[in-house]
């Protein structure tokens, strides 16, 4: 946007008129009337031009259900307000913005010197049209949570484009580097994760998203040392995954005192309080996920931690929960066999084993009579399903598949013990290794038009993204030595995607169609090839990762090799890549991971990661407030057919954003615009399974079921395991629903029904 809105309060209508000019679907005169009119009739004492403009932006944003273009109008008004606020601080250039942040103690010396040295060249890179790409929700999120603010006045010191350029400079060594990555940010084509956006170029550049902390040893000092690690990591915006499988169970003898252990629950209560206390400076809540293997004797109490009933002294409300499940458990569920629970004090070897070695050790422990107790495997599985249905927690993650396909587990003793907070990171961890991952995601919507995917642009973006993700490893501040040493040794990164639903809408592909699955898989393969090639180029320039000899790749194994049923569409390119990697090695042990992207997708104005939309019209609640969202693709299609009428809008609103039962909407659109609740979940699992050969870490796969039952869930997660998924994430259900099968006997019966008669499972049809 080239116009500059600086008129006084009585010129607000002209401001809105100017901001609406050129926006498809908006008449500037009408916009001035419906947006500025209500604001001017309610002017309050002391209101100035900035106040009125912000109120006008909020008024416009509330009209997005009628016309999505009002979101862009609101963003334009907000952008002008931000520019005014920055100018009021005496900042009129990018160099002055960085200097102001440096003087306020926010930005580091390296960044300040780099910008001062190259001020003119950097200023020339600024894209004046960049702010026009934001939707209101995205820009408001950037304004409220990401732009640098003066520590005492709390006024912003940078415009959105200064922000993107500052992050680019914070990650760069040369102006040419900045010129490569800044345009991707400005076009919203690729965005790094929130910690990188928060902290690039600052005095504490903690740029990593995820930390995987191994289980404490079964010792008091080790447990408290883990609390301290989690607090330090969470302080700097890291999401935490931590295993607790080594800590002894309830009733276990404590030889030093001749007393009996209270088990893991009291320790997790303390961890829960610590996570709540460290809230990442108020920018987002502290968050952690605890992983437990299902042979641990406290597993049933673990599954109750998030319940809303029962003994409050044995509940945690801030921790997320995940089951770290070996194949042996799932096989016994399928066979309706018994399952044995052990005290890890008696079977410490089980934590560090997987696959055939785990199976043998587990059965040997049973034969030796070490089990604390046994129960039907389906009873415990049913309890897992009930926890998922009631809380969305207790995520199903699969230990053996994660280890079998991990590039870091070539050497015995290197074991993946858990995933991260969002289940997309799978790396080895140990007492002295805290796994780390730096994340970023490509906006697929920015690489797709009516004619299809721009494959060359997608490969180019991937190459730049990998280079800058690798750079974060060297620039990042590590809150613990365990994280610093692990990340330097393995150099993993996690490149993901967002906006897959936008691609399907653009290309008219129903989410559960064969064409959609084939395109999704082709995109994943294309990104993987480009990403591995970029890592090989970095290895040629700077050397392979220090731990390369410990990777499966060093032995000639690439991730797709773990999936013999996969059929790459570009076999010649894979062969060439294999030859190149044999010569140069890789700079990064792991490269691809599909993270949730909840915040950065909002900034980019696209659908989250690889998920379908949850509604065509909905309210989004964040730390920045409440925002109405509307599916602009649906609106454009209906408007083109003359169907975006008051009656249709009201019908969609009454249906909570669903178009499935709106008779005025043609059948082809009702199929295309089904929400996550209306799609068969088998399709989501199949899409993820088809992508899996080209995702060397994991995928944050939410599954959706409005009214979950034990039977449906049992079949769905068994299907996910059989399909070869490494992890799943939340079970999303409608807030008002509650599962009705609550007793063990009914749970077991429902599990049996679903597993023995999978064809009747609605979830997987």
* Partners of residue 289 on adjacent β-strands: 241, 320
Options 199, 414, 420, 443, the catalytic residue: 420
Cα separation of 586 and 515, whole Å?
Answer: 33
Among 278, 296, 106, 96, residue whose Cα is nearest residue 204: 106
Cα separation of 719 and 700, whole Å?
Answer: 17
Burial grade of 548 (CB within 10 A; 0-12, 13-18, 19 or more): buried
- CB 383, CB 301: distance < 8 Å: no
Options 289, 406, 422, 606, the catalytic residue: 422
DSSP tag of 430: B
* Partners of residue 323 on adjacent β-strands: 292, 396
Tell me the two tokens of residue 221.
């000092």
Kindly give, in sequence order, each residue whose CB lies less than 8 Å from that of residue 104, ignoring residues fewer than 6 positions away.
148, 150, 151, 157
Tell me the two tokens of residue 79.
């952008």
424 is a catalytic site residue:
yes
- CB 287, CB 275: distance < 8 Å: yes
Options 135, 424, 525, 608, the catalytic residue: 424
422 is a catalytic site residue:
yes
Which H/E stretch holds residue 211?
Answer: strand 210-213
Contacts of 345-353 with C-beta under 8 Å, sequence gap 24+, read: 345/218, 345/248, 345/249, 345/252, 346/370, 347/295, 348/218, 348/246, 350/245, 350/293, 350/295, 351/215, 351/243, 351/245, 351/246, 351/293, 351/417, 352/413, 352/415, 352/417, 353/415
Cα separation of 649 and 651, whole Å?
Answer: 5
Q: Is residue 336 left, alpha or beta, with left meaning phi > 0 and alpha meaning psi from -120 to 50?
A: left
Q: Which residues are catalytic?
A: 420, 422, 424
């Amino acid at each position: 946007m080239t116009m500059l809105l600086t008129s006084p309060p009585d010129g607000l209508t002209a401001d809105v008129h100017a901001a609406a000019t050129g926006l498809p679907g908006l008449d500037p005169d009408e916009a001035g009337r419906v947006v500025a009119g209500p604001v001017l009739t309610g002017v309050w004492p002391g209101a100035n031009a900035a106040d009125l403009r912000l109120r006008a932006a909020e008024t416009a944003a509330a009209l997005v259900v009628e016309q999505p273009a009002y979101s862009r109008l609101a963003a334009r008004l907000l952008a002008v307000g931000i520019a005014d606020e920055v100018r009021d601080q005496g900042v009129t250039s990018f160099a002055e913005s960085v200097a102001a942040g440096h003087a306020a103690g926010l930005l580091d010396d390296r960044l300040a010197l780099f910008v001062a040295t190259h001020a003119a060249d950097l200023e020339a890179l600024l894209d004046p049209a960049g702010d026009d790409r934001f939707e209101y929700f995205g820009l408001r999120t950037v304004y409220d949570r990401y732009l640098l603010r003066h520590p005492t006045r709390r006024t912003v010191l940078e415009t959105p484009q200064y922000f993107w350029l500052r992050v680019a400079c914070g990650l760069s060594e040369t102006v040419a580097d900045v010129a490569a990555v800044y345009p991707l940010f400005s076009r919203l084509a690729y965005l790094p994760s929130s910690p990188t956006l928060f902290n690039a170029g600052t005095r504490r550049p903690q740029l990593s998203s995820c930390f995987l902390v191994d289980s404490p040893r079964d010792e008091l000092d080790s447990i408290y040392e883990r609390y301290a690690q989690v607090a330090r990591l969470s302080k700097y915006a890291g999401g935490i995954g931590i295993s607790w499988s080594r800590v002894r169970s309830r009733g276990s003898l404590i030889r030093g005192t001749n007393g009996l252990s209270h088990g893991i629950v009291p320790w997790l209560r303390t961890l829960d309080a610590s996570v709540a206390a460290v809230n990442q400076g108020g920018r987002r809540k502290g968050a952690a996920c605890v992983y437990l293997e299902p042979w641990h004797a406290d597993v049933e109490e673990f599954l109750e931690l998030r319940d809303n009933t029962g003994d409050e002294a044995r509940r945690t409300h801030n921790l997320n929960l995940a089951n770290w499940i070996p194949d042996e458990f799932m096989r016994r569920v399928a066979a309706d066999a018994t399952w044995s629970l052990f005290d890890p004090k008696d079977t410490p070897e089980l934590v560090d084993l997987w696959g055939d070695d785990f199976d043998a050790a587990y059965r040997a422990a049973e034969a030796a009579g070490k089990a604390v107790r046994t129960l039907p495997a389906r009873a415990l599985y049913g309890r897992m399903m009930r926890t998922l249905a009631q809380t969305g927690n207790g995520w199903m993650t699969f230990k053996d598949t994660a280890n079998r396909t991990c590039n870091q587990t070539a050497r015995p003793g290197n074991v993946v013990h858990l995933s991260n907070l969002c289940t997309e990171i799978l790396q080895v961890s140990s007492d002295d290794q805290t796994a780390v991952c730096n994340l970023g995601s490509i906006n697929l919507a920015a690489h797709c038009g009516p004619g299809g995917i721009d494959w060359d642009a997608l490969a180019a973006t991937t190459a730049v993204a990998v280079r800058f993700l690798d750079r974060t490893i060297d620039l990042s501040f590590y809150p613990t030595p365990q994280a610093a040493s692990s990340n330097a040794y393995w150099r993993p990164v996690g490149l993901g995607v967002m906006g897959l639903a936008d691609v399907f809408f653009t290309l008219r592909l129903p989410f559960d169609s064969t064409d959609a699955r084939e395109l999704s898989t082709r995109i994943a393969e294309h990104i993987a090839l480009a990403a591995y090639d970029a890592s090989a180029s970095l290895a040629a320039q700077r050397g392979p990762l220090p731990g390369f000899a410990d990777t499966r790749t060093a032995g000639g194994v690439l991730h797709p090799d773990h999936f013999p049923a996969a059929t790459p569409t570009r076999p010649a390119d894979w062969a060439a890549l294999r030859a190149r990697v044999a010569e140069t090695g890789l700079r990064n042990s792991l490269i691809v991971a599909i993270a949730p992207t909840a915040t950065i997708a909002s900034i980019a104005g696209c659908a989250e990661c690889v998920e379908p939309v949850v509604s065509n019209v909905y309210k989004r609640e964040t730390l920045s407030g409440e925002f109405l969202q509307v599916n602009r693709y649906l609106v454009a299609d209906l408007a083109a057919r003359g169907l975006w009428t008051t009656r249709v809008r009201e019908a969609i609103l009454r249906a909570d954003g669903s178009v499935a039962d709106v008779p005025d909407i043609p059948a082809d659109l009702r199929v295309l615009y089904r929400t996550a609740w209306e799609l068969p979940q088998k399709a989501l699992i199949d899409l993820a399974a088809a992508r899996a050969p080209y995702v060397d870490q994991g995928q944050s796969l939410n599954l959706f079921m409005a009214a979950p039952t034990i039977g449906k869930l049992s079949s769905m997660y068994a299907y996910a395991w059989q399909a070869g998924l490494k992890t799943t994430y939340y079970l999303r259900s409608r807030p008002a629903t509650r599962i009705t099968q609550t007793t063990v006997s009914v749970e077991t019966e429902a599990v049996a029904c679903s597993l023995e008669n999978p064809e009747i499972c609605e979830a997987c049809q």
